[in-house]
A and B are shown apart, each in its own frame.
Chain A
Amino acid sequence: MLVIDQDFLLSRRFGFGPRISPAGRQSADFAKLLLSEIASGGDHPIADDKLLTVAQALSEHEQFQEEEKRRAAIKQQAETEKAIEAARKEAMQKGERVPPGYLPPARRIFNAEATFRFRAALDANTGLTERLVWFWSNHFAIAIGKGNYVQMTAGAFEREAIRPNMFGSFRALLKAAEQHPAMLMYLDNRLSIGPNSRAGARRGRGLNENHARELLELHTMGVNGGYSQDDVTTLAKALTGWTVGSRLDEEGELGAFHFNANRHEPGKKTVVGRTYADEGLAQGERILDDLASHPSTANFIAWKLVRHFVEDEPDVARVAKIAKVFRATGGDLSKVYIALVEAGIAAKEARKVRPPLELVVASLRATEHPLVLGQALQFAQLLGQPLWNPPGPNGFPDASTDWITPAGMKVRLEVATAIARRTPGGANPTQALDTLFGDACSAQTRQAVGRAESRAQGFAILLMSPEIQRR
């Protein structure tokens, strides 16, 4: 494994590694950069006012669906579609931008959000804030494979629930994530109805325990954190009524979190040893507050942070230190990140392999390759990490052994080849290597890149180097 200079290692461990332009290798005291970024509450990209709120997205989608229905009524629908597809292809062949009207809103919104997310990572200085966004996004995972509604709100979920709360208390972050429409749609809570509620008695529909289980297992206490099946079922009952305003229900604001008292299971509830009086919405919120400060939650979050940023098998003492800060500060995430950076400074080797989305961003940062969204998305998918579409609510796997597989490494080589082929003509891989890695570059990497038979091959080797693949 690679032992290299600390600034270079920290820039990869907590960011996306160096950019070829404009900054080149970040040689300034990188730990100091990280700590000051935390102190300033993060380095967020400037909000793009073209991006939609959940309410706007849902409204646009519903309009689109109504239009679709009308169109379906017309017999010439097939021909219309053919003409649209032909126009789209023609525009693409001419190199013109495809007119946005030709994409269904869910896809268009997704593309705008994905561009914003990639852009933010490509342009980031240290990258710490974006890496934390990605970490929490995978912790509170939602998957667009669920359908249109999640596809068009996945980006908004990050911007609305995660970014504004990730430098504050875990309690606030947890509440924002669980009450966000995207989460309520993904984990089905918007459909869950208390069996003894007014709506339950009337409609004969009932409880769905999906959200409650993942909230305990994945978002707070962890699978061995000390809760039971009864806790899952009771929490599910406490969360009944947490839903999303829609036109169908004719109540609540479209696309916003909505508490529907008619669906709420009445009565007091006991979850993880505590009993909560029935106060409607506040009952579930109080339970969440207690779960956020449960010692198991502190341990679980600390362990996940260390596993993601530092090492596959988290060192027990490192985790304990961070968990202690979590507990002592009531889950103040800025303080937790400071402890995490300290733990990262103490670990001297690049122990992890970059997961696909990070690898794509790091590769583009290192090569001056312009962002082509379709390609970036395709690379990530082929490498096994399609954007916002993990295989389940536990998110993407987070250990190097999950990514160093025969098929995975082979695709890494193909992606490196594809990016290297499109690297601007005048670029020189050896110069790039000096700019990016400087003295921190291993002799093997320098030799392999130096001996390449072409520029493209040199860049492909550079992108396959441990300096890029590991962090």
Chain B
Amino acid sequence: MPSADRLHPSRREILGAAGGLFAWSFAPRFAFAASGRDPRLVVIVLRGGLDGLAAAPPIGDPSYAGLRDKIALPASGQGAALSLDGFFGLHPAMTNFARLYTKGEALVVHATATGYRQRSHFDGQDVLESGQPRAGLTRSGWLNRAMGLLPPGERISAKGALGVGVIAPLIVRGESSILGWAPQGLQQADEDLAMRVLQMYDEGEPQLAEALRQGLDTAQFAAASGMKDLRPGSGPSHPEGMVQIATGAAKLMAAPDGPRVAALALEGWDTHVNAGGATGQLATRLGGLDRAFAAFEKELGAVWRETVIVVITEFGRTVKENGNVGTDHGTATVALLAGGAVKGGRIVADWPGLKTSQLLDGRDLTPTTDLRAVLKGVLAEHIGLNASALSEHVFPGTSAIAALRGLIA
């Protein structure tokens, strides 16, 4: 029988190999250990295309109310948008985000999009998560590649990135080893059985073995972090499920030896019909997302101040309400940043306007900020990747897109 060591190569070994490959491109100017920094990064993907004009409505734009008609949020009175800076408001279901904004721990990037200009969810998500200029180029995600560039042995890279969900988001999948966790539903399998199965895989099934090993390690870790009590959630498209997923991920990340980087996906943002205004389907989901921010804030406790949560989606939705009190697939939308390490309390936007002549293809919000510039800014300032690593490996072919600086406190 092989020794336990052989069955369980340490994550550091695996990461060491991946990191070594690209070590040349990492500028060592970001000495985590020396600076005492211990950053946490969470990326939340909203699948389906979040309506940025509902999350952060431009209530000061003269065209807004007319275009949005039945789903427009009023500037005052019942169901009014929460005030951010006078021009932009916030959906009334997002009270926690509003509180964080006021504290300077949240910001909204508006009129942003990746380079993708068609309107397919699936290609849009592929571009968003792979970090590639087009869909279908790789099966690895930008966050996975970013992890592979970090110096092995630092706290941030000691554990792999955490991919939440039975199907981990593409954003964290790839060469670098990842941890996986999903809300628990069945009785855990016993260790002896697990070891025997791993041994059976040892010879011919390295892929199955590696994935199973990672899953078991994370489960053990989750149990040690006191997560046995989590009940099966109602799924990533329900508010309760969103809170549960956020709580679970945050508990893992709060542990001293827990993962520092996580990605999770929340679903149900494809609001073609009856999106609703201050209340309704979209309001319910935005409320779930909002409570997820609060869950992270609460569970991360003291390390919240070193945390950045980035919320992104594949595209926005049509500016004009469609025929069914909803909206169809569009282009630019919002990205939301929250966390103690965010230089918040502001809207980052070069507002393109909502007049027909100002819209993309006469129907969509025109993108004025490249989402990759935002993500590069976060990766540069929060976890210390340099420009060439970002432009060559994390978001290949983007040397013309400069990182957006000043997002991190």
Contact = CB atoms under 8 A, between A and B. Distances in A.
Interface of A: 1-2, 145, 188, 191-193, 195, 200, 205-210, 213, 217, 223, 229, 232, 353, 378, 381-384, 391-392, 394, 397, 399, 401-418, 442, 444-445, 447-448, 451-453, 457, 460-461, 464-466, 469
A399 B167 CA distance: 11
A451 B48 CA distance: 48
Contacts of A465: 200
B21 interface: no
A459 to B, nearest CB: 11
Contact of A188 (B123, B188, B232, B273): B273
A205 B324 CA distance: 7
A391 B236 CA distance: 10
Contacts of A417: 186-187, 189-190, 193
Given A188-B324, A229-B119, A466-B204, A407 B193 contact: no
Nearest to B197: A464
Contact of A382 (B118, B185, B213): B185
A210 B361 contact: no
A461 B211 contact: no
Contacts of B186: 382, 411, 414-415, 417-418
A407 B264 CA distance: 13
A410 B180 contact: yes
Residue of B208, B214, B218 most packed against chain A (CB within 10 A): B208
Contacts of A392: 47-48, 121-122, 267, 270
Contacts of A213: 119-120, 329
Given A208-B273, A384-B166, A406-B218, 5 more contacts: A208-B322, A406-B180, A407-B166, A407-B168, A413-B216
Given A206-B323, A417-B189, A448-B199, A466 B121 contact: no
Interface in B197-213: 197, 199-205, 207-208, 211-213
Contacts of A457: 192-193, 196
A269 to B, nearest CB: 17
Nearest to A378: B185
Contact of B192 (A382, A412, A414, A453): A453
B341 to A, nearest CB: 27
Contacts of A1: 204-205
A465 B201 CA distance: 8
Given A417-B193, A464-B200, A466-B208, A408 B323 contact: no
Interface residues of B, number: 66
Nearest to A451: B196
B288 to A, nearest CB: 14
A311 to B, nearest CB: 14
Contact of A460 (B120, B135, B189): B189
Contacts of A412: 212
B219 A448 contact: no
B338 interface: no
B139 to A, nearest CB: 6
B63 interface: no
B329 A401 contact: no
B46 interface: no
A367 to B, nearest CB: 16
A416 B200 CA distance: 15
30 contacts: A192-B324, A206-B323, A208-B272, A213-B119, A223-B135, A378-B185, A382-B232, A391-B267, A392-B267, A404-B211, A405-B167, A405-B215, A406-B181, A406-B217, A407-B164, A407-B165, A407-B215, A407-B218, A408-B215, A411-B185, A413-B194, A413-B197, A413-B212, A414-B187, A414-B188, A444-B204, A457-B196, A461-B193, A465-B200, A466-B208
B163 A223 contact: no
A383 B182 CA distance: 10
Contacts of B200: 444-445, 447-448, 461, 464-465
